[in-house]
Structure 1
Amino acid sequence: MDFFHSGSWQSKRESFDVTNPATGDVVDRVPAADVSDVDAAIDHLDRVGRPVMARMPAHQRAAILLRASQAIGEQSDLLARTISSECGKTIREARGEVARAAEVMRLSGEEAKRINGEVLPLDAAAGGEHKLGFTLRVPCGVVAAITPFNFPLNLVCHKVGPAIAAGNAVLIKPASDTPLSSLKLVGILIDSGLPASAIACLTGGGGVLGQAICGDDRIRKISFTGSQVVGEAICRSAGLKRVTMELGSNSPLVVLPDADLDAVVAATVASGFANAGQVCISAQRLVVDRSVHDDFLQRLLPAVEAIRLGDPLDEHTDMGPLIRRSEADRVRAWLDEATTAGAHVATGGEQDGAFVRPAVITDANSTMKIVRDELFGPAVAVQAVADVDTAIAAANDTSFGLSAAVFTRDLDAAMRFARNVDSGNIHINGGPMWRSDLMPYGGVKNSGIGKEGPRYTIAEMTETKMIVLHLGD
């Protein structure tokens, strides 16, 4: 596929392969953008796209997004196969992502009609008599959407949909492993009526393109989803731009003595191993009360062992590969590090190329990478604790704070957990990976800055303009 900028699809002599992580087969080739492409794309977005979008009435922006939502649904099979082929996600998970992407564009279209300011009682201030004040929400200008590989369509929609709804032009920089879904989305948006001048999608390595994008003063808003290390580098380059950072996590799932253990097992399998654990809110740390620890493991291990690995395009496959062999090597090294430090692999962990069999690690502690850092792979680490207070302390014993979960029938214990655990999202009797696309989603501590969800993203992609009318007596 070609990339898109300055109003047209373009190719370059320099290009790179997009490969299927399950097979190693080449799926497609895309151009390798350079700094000159970044400059040209931003120049066109700023000179042409930005004023076009700023003048476009809300009902037209909404109509474009609603048409795009419908088109995503109509092309569901093609988009799902694209997602599965470029990132290794199972076809069933890919279909779910496509459905969510359509929903995000629909929500963005609806929210485009509800962007409003407020009237202020200026006569409440001395000297404010005979003055009327109100605010307008106006577009930031040009938004940079820098997106990861693990949800190559839905997380792009979470940035692009609200950007368009708010009246911005937008530059997409997709992950170099998974650019095809973003390029197909651009085609859908243009076919849905978005002016070609208002969008660009550049493919290539983040090391080459990231600094050029984030350091350019014509970019007024950066929305990034990815690692903490890259997010911090972007913030250093951004200067006085608005930023939203959706960064890493190592989400705890806490099991108290009165928990429904079968429900916990189901939530662990769903939250810990979906997309081969490559989800920022995967259940990574299982913090289990000692009184139910052994019973819980006896139920958990068979459920994890029943997860079927294989071809992601096979309807019967439960889990596919990691995004590349090097990531599987890293996950395997972290498991080895944990066992050297005294943990035990209760099941799984075997590696075959980019595949790693789902693993459960017992006797884990906070000195191990698998507990301390973000694994982003198919393993959960089990820690035994004495009571709810030590469980809360263990949940907070991290630099991250994106999502956390607790299973208990005790309302008081649940609310103690909700109030005292430092996390942007708290789940009670559900896994930490659950997310509705309309809710405010974001982390605390090193998990990021700002919130996503179309309504909340639009607020972060607009500026408040204050208007004061000085009236006569």
Structure 2
Amino acid sequence: MTDLATADSGVYTDLDRLSINGEWLLGHSTHNNIDRDPYNGDTLAEIRMASAEDLDAAYAAAKAAQKPWAQKPHQERAQVLFDAAEILERRRQEVLSWLVRESGSTRIKANLEIDVARNIMIESASFPDRIEGRILPSSIPGQESRVYREPLGVVGIISPWNFPLHLTMRSVAPALALGNACVVKPASDTPVTGGLLIARLFEEAGLPPGLLNVVVGAGSEIGDYFVEHPTPRLISFTGSTVVGRGIGKLAHGGKYIKRVALELGGNAPLVVLGDADVEQAAHAAIVGRFLHQGQICISTNRVIVDSEIHDQFVEAVVERARKLQVGNPDDPRTAIGPIINKSQLNGLEEKIENARRDGGRQLVGGDAQGQVLPPHVFDGIKPNWDIAAEESFGPVLPILKAEGEQQALELANATGYGLTSAVFTRDYERGLHFARNIVAGMTHINDMTVDDQANAPFGGEKNSGIGRFNGRWAMEEFTSAHWITLQYRGHPYPF
């Protein structure tokens, strides 16, 4: 536990190094990670990356630190989480600056991300008080049957670049609260906000060395070894379905079989039924698609609109899209900032060109300025075109027309993904019936597809992943059930 009244309030330094066993070290790889601002191309940090040797050291440190941490009084573990959350709030502007510069977050999105990450930390701080076992009835005379919830041990966390602080914290906070140790491999585009900054926060909060280690490394050099390593019991991954599928194969098909928690891609439908409030639905579609340039796994990837109100809805969406400010993410008025890197931008431009070629009607658009792509709205889209069939992960909104509620439901489910979804209707019972027939982990009635609350289960179906984050669902993911029996008198064996 740290004394927050006297804690160092200076700006964090050494964010160009790895964090292993409480030390800030240069990696042993021969390659460097050049961390750049996606808006102006400025170099933010040059980090000597981790080698397999560094990864071994990080996992060894985590393994050595974990058992003493799990044996700490539960109040001590909780207090570290509370202190870290308080430090995050105190350092909000410093963290916000990093999110804007490193991940291209607008100030709107960066503040939202800090709030959500902090909520997860506070929720996780309650876990040491809430974790509990059970005493079960036994069918054997003289036996007591107990179930204990135990920490897994060491958790390996691979986090993405789009909400780096939040989506790393979503695994780090519950894992630590429940008595585990962590090794984090942040995305190459966001090594600071996805890992190194978090290590500094917990270090300042008094987390003992070795419990949170951050290795910045190339997937080609340490990616497979990170998963196949004998130490971690669970690999928590947030990212694309393609990569997640590979991680699942490595985790389940190697020498050491381990658990996986996979939060993967999405193709979120927002369905607007014929009796919906058009303006409300249009507003939700705009925010749900264009927040953080659409670079969110739960972003609205396609809108399905009943033909009765199609034209009215399209008009409302176009009007709102044309008013969005595009450009410098550090300007508080900016709604759409830069795409994270050139490769992502190229993929988006290809989807846009394909939609035009296939006959989609572009109603809003424009050329990229640097890596800033203005909002694009397309109408007349067919469900099998890649702009609707695959996750765009950018400021591109395709609108599909449905002839009635049944076709709208069929279109919503006509995807290999099932992360989140939304439906708009003035009839709440109709909305509930519709929502329960969507194959997805999450559905929101009369709200946008983007929502993540610290006490609610977050996860998907089909190709959108395995497992659930947040709340009591995270408590199950980051612990194991250990069944123990006590035989108080002789067992009546059959022979």
TM-score, normalised with respect to structure 2: 0.92
Q: How does 1:150-229 map to 2 (within 5 A)?
A: 150-181=162-193, 182-229=195-242
* CA distance in structure 1 between the aligned counterparts of 2:365 and 2:31, rounded to whole angstroms: 41
* CA distance in structure 2 between the aligned counterparts of 1:300 and 1:197, rounded to whole angstroms: 50
Alignment partner of 1:95 is 2:111 = yes
Contact 1:165-1:458 at 8 Å conserved across structures: no
Aligned position for 1:26: 43
* CA distance in structure 2 between the aligned counterparts of 1:188 and 1:282, rounded to whole angstroms: 29
Aligned position for 2:92: 76
Identity of aligned residues (%): 33
More off after superposition, 427-436 vs 247-256 = 427-436
Aligned position for 2:127: 111
Contact 1:221-1:243 at 8 Å conserved across structures: yes
* CA distance in structure 1 between the aligned counterparts of 2:192 and 2:262, rounded to whole angstroms: 23
More off after superposition, 51-60 vs 2-11 = 51-60
Q: How does 1:278-297 map to 2 (within 5 A)?
A: 278-297=295-314
* CA distance in structure 1 between the aligned counterparts of 2:471 and 2:23, rounded to whole angstroms: 27
More off after superposition, 404-413 vs 59-68 = 404-413
Unaligned runs of 5+ in 2: 1-15, 491-495
Alignment partner of 1:6 is 2:21 = yes
Displacement of 1:278 after TM fit? Answer: 0.2
State the 4+ residue runs in structure 1 displaced beyond 6 angstroms.
Answer: none
One of 226, 236, 247 as aligned partner of 1:234? 247
* CA distance in structure 2 between the aligned counterparts of 1:349 and 1:267, rounded to whole angstroms: 22
Alignment partner of 1:353 is 2:359 = no
RMSD (Å), alpha carbons: 1.3
* CA distance in structure 2 between the aligned counterparts of 1:96 and 1:282, rounded to whole angstroms: 15
Alignment partner of 1:60 is 2:76 = yes
Displacement of 1:350 after TM fit? Answer: 2.3
Displacement of 1:412 after TM fit? Answer: 4.1
* CA distance in structure 2 between the aligned counterparts of 1:187 and 1:29, rounded to whole angstroms: 18
Secondary structure in structure 2 of the residue aligned to 1:164: helix
* CA distance in structure 2 between the aligned counterparts of 1:20 and 1:354, rounded to whole angstroms: 10
* CA distance in structure 2 between the aligned counterparts of 1:33 and 1:469, rounded to whole angstroms: 47
Amino acid at match of 2:374: R
Aligned position for 2:332: 315
Amino acid at match of 2:192: L
Contact 1:328-1:353 at 8 Å conserved across structures: no
* CA distance in structure 2 between the aligned counterparts of 1:367 and 1:256, rounded to whole angstroms: 21
Displacement of 1:472 after TM fit? Answer: 4.1
Alignment partner of 1:399 is 2:402 = no
* Residues 45-72 of structure 1: per-residue CA shift (max 9 Å, x gap): 22x1222223223211111111111111
Displacement of 1:43 after TM fit? Answer: 2.0
* CA distance in structure 2 between the aligned counterparts of 1:266 and 1:320, rounded to whole angstroms: 19
Amino acid at match of 2:49: A
Displacement of 1:16 after TM fit? Answer: 2.2
Contact 2:290-2:335 at 8 Å conserved across structures: no
* CA distance in structure 2 between the aligned counterparts of 1:116 and 1:318, rounded to whole angstroms: 44
More off after superposition, 424-433 vs 95-104 = 95-104
Secondary structure in structure 2 of the residue aligned to 1:376: coil
TM-score, normalised with respect to structure 1: 0.97
* CA distance in structure 2 between the aligned counterparts of 1:99 and 1:436, rounded to whole angstroms: 10
* Residues 300-347 of structure 1: per-residue CA shift (max 9 Å, x gap): 101001110111111121110110122112101101111111212111
Aligned position for 1:436: 453
Contact 1:388-1:413 at 8 Å conserved across structures: no
Contact 1:324-1:354 at 8 Å conserved across structures: yes
Displacement of 1:374 after TM fit? Answer: 0.7
Contact 2:233-2:258 at 8 Å conserved across structures: yes
* CA distance in structure 1 between the aligned counterparts of 2:59 and 2:127, rounded to whole angstroms: 26
Secondary structure in structure 1 of the residue aligned to 2:308: helix
